[in-house]
Structures are given as structure tokens and as C-alpha cells.
């Protein structure tokens, strides 16, 4: 599926679109023993971004370089690429992708017997749990157990946010306020449309508003406060 998407991107010549598919393709080619094709994808992706202002795609391209370095056993170099990708995602912000980069960086550190790797995995786990990314959280828990890191039973429980928005709800609210449809939000955040619908309902209730337009108004107000903090 990723290769079909890449073929379309190559035909169009718009490599910014490769942000979600290039890392998947690079990982898939490496898993199949096709390191040459993985290298080609990463290089074409990087070349296609030159001269473009595309921070999300740049972070994904750096992530691809980390995947390649890890595949070649260059754990120190890979950790550096993943750290750069994490910073890029955090600046956007894209907390899920930042946590994935942190997770991969932690794997590289652990491969070098660096104890900081366990702390990185725990940090990634916390983010995945806050974002309700259950599959990712389960994967990281398994990795932690494999490295002998004991987890308290309480870690499996999701933090309660009361009347405050959870990180995932805040992310959904921001995207809905930008006019994104439920299916678009679901595809971007790896959720089902029904889950997005439930998040939006919760957001509307917590914020005391009754429409998606109101979310847009709230988002604009927050952006104005951030741009002019002295007004607040």
C-alpha cells in the first residue's frame, strides 16, 4: 500500500505528500531485506524536500534517516536522527510522532547499553497512554518488560482529566477548529471516525459550547492570546 502511494507521489513530483508513507515504506523494505530500495526512498524523499518549507515532511525525512542508520547498526547516529525528528515533531506540535521518535531513539540507546533508553521508553509510554494510542502503548510495555523494567499496575490505567481536555481531546479540538472533517482527523491521528466523534462530543461538553464553529472561535482566541500575552 505504501509503495502505491509512493508511485503516485513520484508521478506527481510532490514529495511533501510522502510524509506519512515514506517512513512506512523504508521500514517495510528493510524488513524484506531490500536495503537498496529503502535507501532510494529516503534519498528521493530528502531530495524532493530541498528548498521547501515543510517542517512536518522534514521531520519525517529525518526519521527515515534514523531508520536506515538503525538498520545498518549505527545506533549512535540513528539516535541522533531520531532526536532531531522528535524535536521537529514537538515544534509543530505533533505529540504522537514525537513519541514515536522518542521510542526509536530509546531503542538505539538500549542497544548501546545506555540506561537512558529505559527513561525514553517510559516517556514515550506516558505520551501514548495520554493520547489513548493503545497499540503503541502495548508495544512499548512489551519492550520495557523485555529489558527488565518493572511497571506498576497503575500505569495501565488512563489518567483522568476531569473537566480539562486530555492531550488527545485538545489535538482533536484544534483540528476540528481548523475545519478538518472527522474522517480527516481520524486518518491523521490513527483513530476511528467514531472515536473522533466521541472526542468532539466530550470537548464540546467540557468547553461548554455547542458547535464546531465555536471550537474555531476558541482556537482563534487562544492563538491571539499566545501572540499577544500582555492582553491577557
Q: Minimal CA–CA distance to 145: which of 172, 118, 164?
A: 118
Region 167-231: CATH code: 1.10.10.10
Per DSSP, the three-state class of 165 is coil
CA distance 195 to 19: 24
Mean pLDDT (whole number) for 79-107: 92
107 versus 224: the higher-pLDDT residue is: 107
Q: Does domain 2-156 have CATH number 1.25.40.10?
A: yes
pLDDT for 4: 55
Would you list the domain boundaries of the chain? 2-156, 167-231
pLDDT for 202: 85
Side-chain-side CA neighbours of 167 within 13 Å: the count stands at 16
Reported pTM: 0.67
CA distance 160 to 164: 9
In the chain, helix, strand, coil percent, each to 5? Answer: 75, 0, 25
Report DSSP state, residue 72.
Answer: T
pLDDT for 16: 87
Mean pLDDT (whole number) for 143-165: 70
User: 87 pLDDT exceeds 50?
Assistant: yes
User: 82 pLDDT exceeds 90?
Assistant: yes
Amino acid at each position: 500500500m505504501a509503495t502505491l502511494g509512493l508511485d503516485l507521489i513520484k508521478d506527481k513530483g510532490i514529495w511533501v505528500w510522502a510524509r506519512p508513507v515514506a517512513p512506512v515504506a523504508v521500514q517495510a523494505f528493510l524488513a524484506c531485506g531490500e536495503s537498496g530500495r529503502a535507501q532510494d526512498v529516503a534519498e528521493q524523499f530528502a531530495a524532493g524536500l530541498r528548498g521547501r518549507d515543510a517542517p512536518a515532511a522534514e521531520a519525517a525525512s529525518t526519521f527515515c534517516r534514523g531508520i536506515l542508520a538503525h538498520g545498518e547498526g549505527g545506533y549512535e547516529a540513528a539516535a541522533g536522527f531520531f532526536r532531531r525528528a522528535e524535536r521537529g515533531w514537538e515544534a509543530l506540535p505533533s505529540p504522537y510522532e514525537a513519541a514515536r521518535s522518542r521510542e526509536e531513539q530509546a531503542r538505539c540507546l538500549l542497544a548501546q547499553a545506555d540506561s537512558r533508553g529505559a527513561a525514553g521508553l517510559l516517556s514515550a509510554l506516558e505520551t501514548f497512554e495520554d493520547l489513548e494510542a493503545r497499540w503503541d502503548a502495548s508495544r512499548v510495555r512489551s519492550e520495557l518488560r523485555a529489558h527488565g523494567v518493572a511497571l506498576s499496575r497503575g500505569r495501565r490505567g488512563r489518567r483522568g482529566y476531569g473537566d480539562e481536555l486530555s492531550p488527545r481531546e485538545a489535538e482533536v479540538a484544534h483540528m476540528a477548529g481548523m475545519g478538518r472533517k472527522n474522517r480527516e482527523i481520524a486518518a491523521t491521528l490513527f483513530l476511528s471516525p467514531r472515536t473522533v466523534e466521541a472526542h468532539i462530543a466530550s470537548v464540546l461538553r467540557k468547553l461548554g459550547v455547542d458547535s464546531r464553529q465555536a471550537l474555531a472561535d476558541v482556537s482563534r482566541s487562544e492563538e491571539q492570546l499566545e501572540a499577544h500575552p500582555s492582553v491577557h
